[in-house]
Amino acid sequence: EIVLTQSPATLSLSPGERATLSCRASQSVSSYLAWYQQKPGQAPRLLIYDASNRATGIPARFSGSGSGTDFTLTISSLEPEDFAVYYCQQRRNWDTWTFGQGTKVEIK
Amino acid sequence: DVQLLESGGGLVQPGGSLRLSCAASGFTFNTYAMGWVRQAPGKGLEWVAGIRDSGTTTTYADSVRGRITISRDNSKNTLYLQMNTLRVEDTAIYYCAKEPQYCSRNSCYFDYWGQGTLVTVSS
């Protein structure tokens, strides 16, 4: 089973700052990694799929990069609505889905 | 617009049963694989079960296999989750989620999610 480890657990930043979130896989997942955003009381929303492709309607300030075991989600300039929890996710062999434990981006 | 609307959550005693439903609209339901993901209070996301577009293939997390059954009725555009022998640790918000058109063996994600339904298992 692949384990996804996200860091840091919490990121304290101010609006306008750059956010860099990390997701590390316990073994190579090629470029098959997705990122989600979840705000309090809401369902997760797909941001990035296949490591670097923005989902429909996602602003350009969100970008994803990486391959193999190391991945990064970058928010170039934080907007007030970007303060949320972010999860990475991978699927393996059709039937094993794994989520990271999440990174909370909070207002400093 | 894609819409997924879950229902059927509630309070149930340990050992009890519950059936969740997810009504889908805004897309051709019978051509997409679907899944359920849960989130315990204050915790992260956990995939629970998945089902292919035809309903003939189902997959489960180890934590629920043998107690939970995923199914779908393509004539009603509805996804189900039958939950039996419920445990306290099954307490969570259960989300219905849609896969995109093209997933491969090691590449898939959920492009749309419902708002979730809360299941509380407590005596």
A27-86 pLDDT, tens per residue?
Answer: 999 999 999 999 999 999 999 999 999 999 999 999 999 999 999 999 999 999 999 999
Contact list in B for residue A64 (CB cut-off 8 A) is none
| CB nearest to B106's CB, from A32, A34, A44 | A32
Q: Say if CB B117 and CB B92 are below 8 A apart.
A: no
How much is the pLDDT for A94? 80
| CB nearest to A99's CB, from B45, B108, B112 | B45
For B107-120, write each residue's pLDDT tens digit: 899 999 999 999 99
Residues contacting residue A5 through CB under 8 Å, at least 6 positions apart = A23, A24, A25, A26, A100, A101
**Torsion sign (Cα): A67, A69, A75, A80:** positive
Residue in B closest to A47 by C-alpha: B111
Q: Say if CB B20 and CB B97 are below 8 A apart.
A: no
